[in-house]
Amino acid sequence: MTDFIVTITDEEQLAGITWAREQHNGALPPSSPSAPLSDDDEVVVESTDGVIQTDEEYVQWVMEKAAISYAEQKEQATWRQVYEESQAAARRGRR
C-alpha cells in the first residue's frame, strides 16, 4: 500500500469537488424507509450504500476508481501488445 497526499488550495476547485460529491450522492437511488416495528414506532430511514459523506472520502473514492481503470488499461495494453507481436510473428513466418 502507498499513501498519497493531495493538497488542493484553490477555492473553486474545492467547491467543484463538493459539487461532484453532491452530484454522485444525488444520483444514488433514494433511501427506503425501514418498516416500523409497531404502529407507535417511527419510521427509520437507513443510509443508502454508496453515499460519500466528506470531500476527503470523495477524493479517495475517485482515486480508487481511477487506479482500477489504470490497472485495466495497462492489462488491455499488455494483451494488445502481445497480440500484435504474435500477429507480426505469424506474418513473418508465412513469408
Domain boundary assignment for the chain = 56-95
pTM of the shown model: 0.70
- How would you class 44 by CB atoms within 10 Å of its CB: exposed for 0-12, middle for 13-18, buried for 19 or more? exposed
> What are 21-35's pLDDT values in tens digits?
999 999 999 876 655
**Measured distance CA(31)–CA(37) in Å, rounded:** 18
Evaluate if residue 46 carries a pLDDT over 50.
Answer: no
Q: Where are the alpha helices (H) located in 1-95, listed in sequence order?
A: 11-26, 55-94
DSSP conformation letters of 39-57: TTSPP-BPPPTT---SHHH
> What's the pLDDT band for 50 if we cut at 50, 70, 90?
confident
